[in-house]
Amino acid sequence: MIIVLKPNVKEERKRQLIDWLKGMNLGVHISNGEFQTVLGLIGDTTQVDIELIDSLDIVDSVKRVTETFKSSNRKFHPEDTVIEVGDVKIGGGNFCLIAGPCSVETEEQIVTVAKAVKAAGANLFRGGAFKPRTSPYDFQGLGARGIELLKIAREETGLPFVTEIMNISDLPLFEDVDVLQVGARNTQNYDLLKELGRIDKPILLKRGLAGTLKELLMSAEYIMSNGNEKVILCERGIRTYSDYMRNTLDISAVPMLHELSHLPVIVDPSHATGMARMVPPMAMAATACGADGIMIEVHNDPIHALCDGAQSMTPEDYTALVKRIKAVREVIA
């Protein structure tokens, strides 16, 4: 249920209403917008007398929310959420570029790529230390050592970084990580999501391999309902009958997620297509339809990359692409 208050309601009256609602064992999500305050009620609202609330002089309107996702729902929080990572802002008109290799391989590799993507204009860099590989015989990532190398690259560049967490027991290793990624294979690992709801760090949540938008939002809900509201949604392509592409990039997910939710939505065209040459057109399409950021895999030596070399752009090609992405941003502004 959402309660929209009239403009300029006194704090004390607001507080009385909130306390009364909380007294009914309801969670109250408060969204203080520029023009109006919206109270989102979470929990069993069947006992709430909607007419009684509607009759209060401080209440503008009351509506039942039928969607099962609450905290991530735009009805609860009409204004865009802006997530801050150091000086970088994501969402609410703030566009961010994230780039880096699929996996951290060596200090030289990650520092070189982080410097190159910074020079190209990236705001954050990325690199996997714990890798979810389809085959157990493939490179599984450097683990804890990989995170240490990411920190070295952060020192060298000043850019914050994103890296994937696969297992709750690894959480202590992520204490000094800027943004934790939940990969497509773990989007519905609810125990992991609940635990990430208890920390105070941005979570980049990818859409599951064959996940619906509702499932993605319910996964965000697992994080948010446990207290962490800093969730960035990421469309990374879904499994369809597409034959020549690794996945199908669902571009329409961007405006639909923006309609349904206040959370920032970024797009990863690298995992969506699996081919470096397909990344530029998809990155520009994603930018044009209003994505809040683009995450791209970049490697200094794609042919010898230990993971996802075929979809990795060279720093030179990435630099050229950033210019075109920025030009698209200008056009849609």
Q: What does the binding site for Mn ion look like in residue numbers (CB under 5 A)?
A: 102, 308
The whole-angstrom separation of Cα 193 and Cα 79 is: 24
Q: Which is nearer to ligand PEP, 160 or 183 (CB)?
A: 183
Strands (E), 213-292: 231-235, 265-267
146 binds ligand PEP (CB under 6 A): no
236 binds ligand PEP (CB under 6 A): yes
Residue recorded with tokens 């070189």: 112
Whether the Cβ atoms of residue 148 and residue 175 lie closer than 8 Å to each other: no
The whole-angstrom separation of Cα 199 and Cα 223 is: 9
246 binds ligand PEP (CB under 6 A): no
239 binds ligand PEP (CB under 6 A): no
CB of 156 vs ligand PEP, minimal distance in Å: 22
With contacts defined by CB under 6 A, name the span among 7-15, 36-44, 113-121, 179-187 that binds ligand PEP: 179-187
113 half-sphere exposure, CB direction, 13 A CA radius = 32
The whole-angstrom separation of Cα 205 and Cα 162 is: 11
Q: Judged by CB under 6 A, how many residues of this single chain contact ligand PEP?
A: 9
211 binds ligand PEP (CB under 6 A): no
291 binds ligand PEP (CB under 6 A): no
CB of 165 vs ligand PEP, minimal distance in Å: 11
Residues 6+ apart with CB under 8 A from 98: 122, 123, 124, 125, 126, 162, 266, 293, 294, 295, 296
Out of Mn ion, ligand PEP, none, which partner does residue 154 contact, by CB within 5 to 8 A per kind?
Answer: none
Q: Which is nearer to ligand PEP, 40 or 127 (CB)?
A: 127
> CA triplet 127, 131, 135: central angle to 5 degrees?
140
Q: Which is nearer to ligand PEP, 73 or 186 (CB)?
A: 186
Which one among 29, 230, 258, 271 touches ligand PEP, defined by CB under 6 A?
Answer: 271
Smallest CA-to-CA distance from 235 within 203, 262, 270 is with 270
The whole-angstrom separation of Cα 132 and Cα 136 is: 9
132 binds ligand PEP (CB under 6 A): yes
Which one among 1, 4, 21, 102 touches ligand PEP, defined by CB under 6 A?
Answer: 102
Question: Where do contacts with ligand PEP occur on this chain (CB under 6 A)?
Answer: 102, 128, 132, 183-185, 206, 236, 271
